[in-house]
């Protein structure tokens, strides 16, 4: 478990993707991982884009991980609602932000302009920007 102070520091760090000149956006039922470092290279991160689930064209999950397993941010688009530990139900799209003692089990409604309706590629750009990634490479659209 991470301390909240550490989480805030990690979330605010500028990051850069490593060894990536362009991103091939995953097609339905695919998943990609993108390695990243903090700009000062003191920390390592992984960004995931998952299109698992064959029946919803716009279902997608974007995630920023730290230490391989700690999900700092997770944006769920066109999935089921989420119920927070206090019982509050949050509809999709929603954003999970790591919280000390709860991990990624809390979600909030996705901030305005983070999710672009019907455009998962632009949503990925927005998510990477929200996660403080600098120099976002070109993203190539998949077939679907």
The answer to whether the beta carbons of residues 1 and 99 sit under 8 Å apart is: no
Looking up tokens 């119920």 gives: 83
Domain of 78 in residue numbering reads as 4-140
Closest CA to 62 of 72, 44, 47, 52: 47
Q: Which of 43-52, 54-63, 83-92, 131-140 has the lowest mean pLDDT?
A: 54-63
The answer to whether the beta carbons of residues 116 and 123 sit under 8 Å apart is: yes
Q: What is the pLDDT of residues 82-100, one digit of tens each?
A: 999 999 999 999 999 999 9
Mean of per-residue pLDDT scores for the chain: 94
d(CA 99, CA 96): 9
Q: Which of 27-31, 64-68, 92-96, 97-101 has the lowest mean pLDDT?
A: 27-31
Is the pLDDT assigned to residue 56 strictly greater than 80? no
**Alpha-carbon Rg of the chain, whole angstroms?**
15
Q: Which two tokens stand for residue 38?
A: 């903090």
Backbone angles phi, psi at 17, to 5 degrees: -75, 145
DSSP, collapsed to helix, strand or coil, labels residue 68 as: coil
pLDDT at residue 138, rounded to an integer: 95
The answer to whether the beta carbons of residues 136 and 125 sit under 8 Å apart is: yes
What is the tally of structural domains in the chain? 1
DSSP, collapsed to helix, strand or coil, labels residue 122 as: helix
d(CA 72, CA 3): 12
End-to-end CA distance of the chain: 37
Q: Per-residue pLDDT averaged across 137-144, rounded? A: 82
């Amino acid at each position: 478990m991470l301390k909240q102070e550490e989480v805030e520091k990690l979330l605010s760090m500028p990051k850069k993707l490593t060894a990536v000149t362009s991103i091939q956006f995953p097609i339905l039922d695919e998943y990609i991982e993108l390695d990243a470092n903090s700009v000062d290279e003191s920390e390592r991160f992984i960004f995931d884009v998952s299109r698992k689930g064959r029946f919803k064209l716009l279902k997608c999950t974007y995630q920023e991980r730290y230490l391989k397993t700690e999900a700092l941010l997770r944006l769920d688009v066109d999935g089921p609602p989420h119920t927070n530990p206090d019982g509050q139900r949050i509809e999709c799209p929603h954003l999970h932000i790591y919280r000390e003692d709860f991990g990624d089990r809390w979600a909030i409604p996705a901030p305005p302009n983070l999710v672009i309706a019907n455009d998962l590629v632009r949503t990925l750009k927005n998510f990477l920007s929200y996660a403080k990634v600098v120099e976002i490479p070109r993203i190539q659209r998949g077939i679907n």
